[in-house]
Structure 1
Amino acid sequence: MKLFEDPSLDVNTAAEWVDVEYSTANRLVDQLETDGVLEELTGQSRNRFFRANEVFEIINSPLERITRGGQ
């Protein structure tokens, strides 16, 4: 899944990634936000930008933390 490659996106990006119309991608992104997978970062109702915080944190964690099991 592209979200693991780039944990930041907007609805247009999500629509491209899964090859669906904007309205469908918007519903999918809203559901991922509701489920806690994505966090909306702008606080706006339009031109929203999201991030998968858990994926982002793992990607940006020092390698030694990951290899030690998060200790």
Structure 2
Amino acid sequence: MRSRVFELEKENLGRFFTTIEKEGLTVELMEVNTHGNLIVQIDYTEDEREVLMSLIELLDELNEEEQEEEESEAD
């Protein structure tokens, strides 16, 4: 079994945990950091690797959307 640690912003929790629940992955809350972000660990098997990669892609997309919003607000 392998594990991966993620830092999740409050705004992204819904979509992230919906995917985790749908796929039946195991999640452990590690801590809440000073910014209020959740640090979670996901345990996965080699067979679940593709699901984990889709979670990484989802977070990348969400972070890109957030950056674009911040940039448009700054204009």
Same fold judged by TM-score > 0.5? Answer: no
Which is bigger in relative contact order (C-alpha 8 A, separation at least 6)?
2
TM-score normalised to the size of structure 2? 0.33
- The structure that is helix-richer by fraction is 2
- Could you tell me the TM-score, scaled by structure 1's length? 0.34
Bigger strand share: 2
